[in-house]
């Protein structure tokens, strides 16, 4: 492993282990250092119990998202380093060296090493970029701004404009991902539309396996209410960090003063959630709030709250709100309790609807019978159906495509070791097995599209897409 030790000029050569220590709710205090040290102690004692025959590492890296204070002797960095040295000696571990990658250290690596930074640049949201720009402008003064951006802050009566610009980049609904038609979801769309006329009092939770179309359904409903004049705020709920950032922006859009928001978000928690919902309740225009990809339900809570209480980030609509929607693969209805949420589980598409999706995208690729067969091979899941249809839509004029018909695409897909039929044939495996198989086969259909991109000469773009996250 080419990594420098604390003694400059030396290199690590041997068996190295990296241990990741992620704290879901960092407190920004000495408690974070205490928590990290307890985690490291458990790891080191675990290695010591294995003994020399287990192949103990020569080097260890402990990577964490918590901030450690650099204060000499009493700060988190020195405390953790000293305690590791003491414990390694007490346990007689044959470690030649170790390192702690705390939050600031990881940030420095991302700044310095382009090869590490670039593969993850797609995770940076427009809101984060604009927020950094705002901070730079405040530090340097308005003359540092390009002329085109100066009007954004020229009006001293509206200092929140840049913040609102940042918010619009992160909580704007991704309407560009909306399919042209949503097949087989009339009942679900009608249920969501009915909420608009009865002033919903509960959160609407859309559940189902990956690729079943939860996000697409929420997006179709969002497009409908947007066309009716409602504000739509779309929160990426895939992690607590992203929820914190998005709800900061929601609070600004709802009218909370920027300074007040900044104060409440220094340590995001119950008070921050209360502030956002206080201003949402007072908003004088209709709004819809969507929490998309909320597979970790714990991320929807915050300090001093639990999900069924309705005191975390997700709460029933209030004021002029026309709905709060959550999309999640978590089928645990009991996690929501009985008071704040109504669950709507999405099933796979029926055979005729699956065929309609394929024929709508690639009508030249075969008849309805062949489309139905491929639709069933794809498990009736909207996401792989669209991937297959889009692949075939241009294949008739593309000599590099490996399949031009529904039958040929089905043959390609069956070369994979696992197909979606198994997800529905295995009754004993239950939902968890079905979800796992579905995700792997969605990845297979995605892989066929990426492979075509590579053969078309767009390898850079294809490489960037090569490991998708199934969010639907």
| Among 190-204, 267-281, 439-453, the least confident range | 439-453
Using one digit for the tens of pLDDT, what is the confidence trace for 282-319? 999 999 999 999 988 988 988 778 889 899 999 999 99
Element (H, E) at 100: strand 97-101
Q: CA-CA distance, 388 to 449, in Å (whole number)?
A: 8
The CATH number, out of the four listed (1.20.210.10, 3.10.20.30, 3.90.1150.10, 3.40.50.300), of the domain defined by the range 171-345: 3.40.50.300
Q: CA-CA distance, 110 to 112, in Å (whole number)?
A: 6
Give how far Cα 451 sits from Cα of 15, 54, 378, 448, 463, Å. Answer: 35, 41, 18, 5, 10
* Predicted local confidence at residue 320, as pLDDT: 92
Using one digit for the tens of pLDDT, what is the confidence trace for 345-357? 999 899 999 999 9
Q: CA-CA distance, 185 to 182, in Å (whole number)?
A: 6
How many Cα atoms sit within 13 Å of 259 on the Cβ side? 2
Which pTM was predicted?
0.58
Q: CA-CA distance, 405 to 112, in Å (whole number)?
A: 48
Higher pLDDT, 255 or 421: 255
Using one digit for the tens of pLDDT, what is the confidence trace for 367-388? 999 999 998 888 888 888 888 8
b/e map 25-62, b = 16+ CB within 10 Å:
ebeeeeebbebbbebbeeebeebbeeeeeeebbbbbbb
Q: CA-CA distance, 108 to 183, in Å (whole number)?
A: 48
* Residue 30 in this model has a pLDDT that exceeds 90: no
* Beta-strand relationship, 16-21 and 59-64: parallel
User: Taking the domains of the chain in order of start, what are their residue ranges?
Assistant: 16-119, 125-167, 171-345, 351-465
* Residue 187 in this model has a pLDDT that exceeds 50: yes
* 464 confidence band (pLDDT: 50, 70, 90): very low
How many Cα atoms sit within 13 Å of 17 on the Cβ side? 13
Average pLDDT over residues 261-267: 83
């Amino acid at each position: 492993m080419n990594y420098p030790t604390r003694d400059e000029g030396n290199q690590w050569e041997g068996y190295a282990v990296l241990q990741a220590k992620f704290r879901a709710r960092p407190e920004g205090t000495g408690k974070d250092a205490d928590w990290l040290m307890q985690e490291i102690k458990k790891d080191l004692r675990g290695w010591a119990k294995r003994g020399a025959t287990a192949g103990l590492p020569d080097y260890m890296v402990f990577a964490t998202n918590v901030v450690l204070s650099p204060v000499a002797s009493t700060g988190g960095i020195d405390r953790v380093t000293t305690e590791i040295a003491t414990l390694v000696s007490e346990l007689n571990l044959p470690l030649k060296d170790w390192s702690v990658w705390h939050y600031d250290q990881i940030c420095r690596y991302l700044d310095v090493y382009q090869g590490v930074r670039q593969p993850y640049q797609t995770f940076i949201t427009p809101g984060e970029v604009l927020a950094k720009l705002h901070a730079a402008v405040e530090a340097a003064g308005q003359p540092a701004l390009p002329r085109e951006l100066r009007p954004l802050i020229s009006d001293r009566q509206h200092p929140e404009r840049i913040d609102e610009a940042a918010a619009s980049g992160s909580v704007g609904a991704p309407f560009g991902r909306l399919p042209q038609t949503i097949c087989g979801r009339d009942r679900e769309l009608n249920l969501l539309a009915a909420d608009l006329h009865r002033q919903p009092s509960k959160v609407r939770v859309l559940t189902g396996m990956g690729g079943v179309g939860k996000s697409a359904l929420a997006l179709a409903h969002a497009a409908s209410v947007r066309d009716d004049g409602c504000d739509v705020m779309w929160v990426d709920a895939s992690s607590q960090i992203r929820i914190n950032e998005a709800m900061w922006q929601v609070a600004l859009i709802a009218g909370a003063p920027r300074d007040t928001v900044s104060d409440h978000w220094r340590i995001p928690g119950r008070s921050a959630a209360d502030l956002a919902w206080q201003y949402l309740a007072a908003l004088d225009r209709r709004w819809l709030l969507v929490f998309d990809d909320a597979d970790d339900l714990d991320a929807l809570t915050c300090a001093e709250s639990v999900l069924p209480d309705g005191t975390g980030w997700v709460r029933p609509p209030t004021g002029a709100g026309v709905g709060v929607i959550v999309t999640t693969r978590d089928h645990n209805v009991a996690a929501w309790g009985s008071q704040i949420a109504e669950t709507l589980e999405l099933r796979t598409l029926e055979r005729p609807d699956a065929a309609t999706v394929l024929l709508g995208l690639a009508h030249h690729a075969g008849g309805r019978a062949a489309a139905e067969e491929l639709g069933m091979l794809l498990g009736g899941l909207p996401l792989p159906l669209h991937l297959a249809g889009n692949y075939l839509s241009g294949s008739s004029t593309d000599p590099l495509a490996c399949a031009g018909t529904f039958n040929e695409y089905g043959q390609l897909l069956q070369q994979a070791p696992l197909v979606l039929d198994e997800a529905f044939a295995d009754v004993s495996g239950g939902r968890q097995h079905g979800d796992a198989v579905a995700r792997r086969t969605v990845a297979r259909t995605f892989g066929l599209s990426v492979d075509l991109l590579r053969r078309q000469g767009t390898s850079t773009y294809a490489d960037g897409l090569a490991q998708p996250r199934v969010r639907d």
